[in-house]
Structure 1
Amino acid sequence: MNEQPHDHCRSRDTASYIADMARELAGLASERDLAILRYLLQMASEEARAIAGLPAPEAERSAEAPEDRG
């Protein structure tokens, strides 16, 4: 599928928006002690930021996987 330049910009803008929303949701999950959900949302935020060509925020760079509650 050929992407036009304006489509590429829209895709990056959309990925940036998704990154912001996922990061906010990760914060909410963290406030409610939903560790696995927080982790998954942080990973989604990082992936979306990478697609958008944005660096990961400092707080997300040091995010660790939740402990296994097995």
Structure 2
Amino acid sequence: MNEFLRDPGAQRDVARYIAAMAKELADMASGRGMPLLRYLLEMAQDEALSISREQQETSEADEQLR
């Protein structure tokens, strides 16, 4: 596995970036009358934020063990 993918901090950053991009795209879809696409992008944003939170919790737990 790529070293980048094993690093919780890197995964958290990528997930946050994906969430931000998905929100922007969802806003664009909403403004152009594409409700299904907006919904799917909002779901992608929610999933990315969930992954980001999980990675944050993992990092905090690892820090407490040290």
State the TM-score, normalizing by the size of structure 2: 0.71
More helix by share: 2
Distance 2:49 2:39 in 1: 15
The list of structure 1 runs, each at least 4 consecutive aligned residues, that deviate by more than 6 angstroms after superposition, is none
* Percent of residue pairs identical: 52
**Structure 2 unmatched ranges of 5 or more:** 55-66
**How much does 1:45 deviate?**
0.1
Aligned length, in residue pairs: 52
**Structure 1 unmatched ranges of 5 or more:** 55-70
Q: Give the number of the structure whose alpha-carbon radius of gyration is greater.
A: 2
The residue aligned with 2:20 is: 20
The residue aligned with 1:50 is: 50
RMSD over aligned CA atoms reads 2.1
State the TM-score, normalizing by the size of structure 1: 0.67
